[in-house]
Copies of this chain bind each other. A is one copy, B any other.
Amino acid sequence: MKDNPVFIPKLAVVGVGLIGGSLALALKSAKAVGEVVGIGRGLANLEKALELGVVDRIEQDSCAGVADADLVFLATPVRSLESVAAVIAPSMKPGAVLTDGGSVKAEVVRAIEPLMPAGVHFVPGHPIAAFATLYQGKRCILTPTEATNPAALDLVKRVWERAGSEVVLMDVEKHDRILAAISHLPHMVAYSLVNSVGSYDRYPENILDYSAGGFRDFTRIASSDPTMWRDIAMTNREALVEMMENFEACFAELKKDVREGDGEKLFEFFMRSKKSRDAIL
């Protein structure tokens, strides 16, 4: 345990969905925050967050909402981050820190860093939360750049630690490649798998109707929000294409082994995969 508990007198959360709301709740339960202002466009969402005690005050005017905040957490969809930051940055007070939870970092950094007024500090971040209840035990990646203020970085790091996360620092490009590999690529694979099986037209019936629980479980992520994934795919194009090509090479090697009926190579391929997979259990 560290001896210098972080305390944020006023936290503004823009977007009080699962990501934003969970940070607010984690900091509240750690008594690491004074007041939490929830900011958003939809009044229903805001009122629900207020009713649940996730935020203490709500504000539809984002500029008013961030005006006296010490820390602003941007938790809106990745493609809206730039436009939201453009609106709120001029209203933030000197010394305040802005951080985000966007799942792609290079484009976000490129867009947001130039928008910061003097004395307002941006720290690019990405909490990798599998489930959004809380960040306890999950990794949060922060991607400081040459422009990142060290004190602001330290503050945001301590905030995430206080929320229970293990904070990892890495450069923007590395973050985007890693996320392309472990998150964006699997979604592309799942969407493609469902489409390739669903479009198989040799038989009159839809062969997906024969699928049992295994296929349903495996393709669960193909039910994810198409708008969100369109935005992520467009925002992280370069790294994603790199990972898709790595996957294609691997898959082509396997197809060759299947076609040639090479039992030794097939066993080696499956065993190598199983060992990697079992290691991350």
Question: Interface residues, chain A, CB within 8 Å of chain B?
Answer: 128-131, 138-139, 141, 168, 174, 177-178, 181-183, 185-186, 188-200, 202-203, 207-224, 226-227, 229-230, 233-234, 237, 240-241, 243-252, 254-255, 257-259, 261, 263, 266-267, 269-274, 276-281
Cα–Cα, bound, A203→B200 (Å): 39
Known contacts being A131-B213, A258-B241, A263-B234, is A271 close to B185, with CB within 8 Å? no
Q: Tell me if B227 and A267 are in contact (CB < 8 A).
A: yes
Extra contacts, 13 of them, besides A139-B212, A222-B274 (Cβ < 8 A), are A183-B215, A191-B270, A192-B251, A192-B273, A209-B280, A220-B277, A222-B276, A223-B278, A226-B267, A227-B267, A230-B267, A237-B261, A248-B252
Cα–Cα, bound, A241→B272 (Å): 21
Which of A199, A215, A249, A271 gathers the greatest number of chain B CB atoms within 10 Å? Answer: A215
Contact partner of A248 (CB less than 8 A), chosen from B209, B210, B248, is B248
Cβ–Cβ < 8 Å partners of A192 in chain B: 247, 250-251, 254, 273
Cα–Cα, bound, A274→B218 (Å): 13
A203 to chain B: closest residue by CB: B174
Cβ–Cβ < 8 Å partners of A269 in chain B: 191, 195
Cα–Cα, bound, A161→B153 (Å): 64
The smallest beta-carbon distance between A25 and chain B, in angstroms, is 19
A249 to chain B: closest residue by CB: B196
Cβ–Cβ < 8 Å partners of A263 in chain B: 230, 234
Contact partner of A277 (CB less than 8 A), chosen from B177, B194, B245, B277, is B194
Quickly give the copy total for this chain: 2
Q: Tell me if A129 and B276 are in contact (CB < 8 A).
A: no
Cα–Cα, bound, A195→B254 (Å): 10
The smallest beta-carbon distance between A210 and chain B, in angstroms, is 5
Contact partner of A189 (CB less than 8 A), chosen from B189, B207, B249, is B189
Contact partner of A128 (CB less than 8 A), chosen from B202, B212, B217, B220, is B212
Cα–Cα, bound, A280→B197 (Å): 12
Cα–Cα, bound, A190→B14 (Å): 37
Q: Tell me if B197 and A185 are in contact (CB < 8 A).
A: yes
Cβ–Cβ < 8 Å partners of A200 in chain B: 181, 243, 246
Q: Tell me if B198 and A193 are in contact (CB < 8 A).
A: no
Contact partner of A280 (CB less than 8 A), chosen from B128, B211, B254, is B211
The smallest beta-carbon distance between A124 and chain B, in angstroms, is 16
A177 to chain B: closest residue by CB: B202
Cβ–Cβ < 8 Å partners of A248 in chain B: 248, 251-252, 255
Contact partner of A221 (CB less than 8 A), chosen from B168, B212, B218, is B218
